[in-house]
């Protein structure tokens, strides 16, 4: 009887690890299957690159275009807040990132009123984090804005999630 108990004690952790990997793999496949977001043509991508541009005199960033800026911060928030990261936030790191976002936003020029409104919301949430507030809600909204803008502006399709939080929507001209 004792041998059975010891055998189960050894086998159970291995089974749990295998089950965990299977669940992660299944979720990942499910998340990327049938992805939402606009299917952007090359012409649409080129048009969107002109919707928002960096002012020539700003050189504080490393981005070739505004779409790259959006994608970069979306990815960063995925890494730092996704998969439960929102529950163990590195606040100093988030403050530094908020300051970076604010610095880049000052160099963006756009005539699109919807995109301006979205960038204003991002600015407000980033200022809250930069000021030292340790509240999760501004971080959550920053992540959602960058997520939805990545879908609308860049045609990001790696997730089924769509929060419909942005005013800006890709135009199908």
Number of folded domains that form the chain: 2
Average pLDDT of the chain to the nearest whole number = 83
DSSP string, 33-58: TT--S----HHHHHHHHHHEEE-TT-
pLDDT digits (tens, 9 = 90+) for 61-96: 688 889 999 999 999 999 999 888 899 999 999 999
Could you tell me which residue, 160 or 34, shows the higher pLDDT? 160
Q: Are residues 19 and 59 in the same domain?
A: no
> 0.75 exceeded by the pTM?
no
Domain holding 9, by residue range, is 1-33
For residue 23, give both structure tokens: 């669940």
Contact partners, residue 164, CB within 8 Å, separation at least 6: 148
Confidence check: pLDDT of 29 > 60: no
51: nearest Cα among 113, 106, 103: 113
pLDDT at 168: 94
Q: Are residues 47 and 66 in the same domain?
A: yes
* Rounded Cα gap, residues 77 and 67, in angstroms: 16
Residue 159: inside a domain, yes or no? no
Q: Are residues 18 and 89 in the same domain?
A: no
* Rounded Cα gap, residues 23 and 9, in angstroms: 22
Number of Cβ within 10 Å of residue 27's Cβ equals 11
């Amino acid at each position: 009887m004792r041998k059975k108990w010891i055998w189960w004690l050894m086998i159970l952790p291995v089974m749990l690890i295998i089950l965990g990997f299977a669940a992660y793999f299944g979720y990942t496949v499910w998340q990327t299957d049938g992805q939402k977001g606009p299917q952007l043509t090359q012409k649409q991508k080129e048009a969107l690159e002109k919707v928002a541009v960096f002012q020539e005199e700003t050189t504080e960033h490393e981005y070739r275009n505004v779409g790259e800026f959006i994608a970069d911060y979306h990815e960063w928030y995925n890494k730092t807040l996704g998969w439960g990261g929102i529950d163990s936030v590195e606040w100093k790191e988030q403050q530094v990132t908020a300051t970076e976002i604010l610095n880049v936003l000052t160099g963006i020029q756009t005539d699109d009123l919807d995109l301006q409104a979205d960038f204003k919301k991002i600015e407000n949430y980033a200022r809250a984090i930069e000021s030292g507030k340790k509240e999760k809600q501004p971080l959550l909204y920053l992540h959602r804005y960058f997520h939805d803008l990545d879908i609308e502006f860049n045609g990001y399709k790696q997730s089924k999630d769509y929060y419909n939080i942005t005013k800006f929507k890709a135009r199908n001209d």
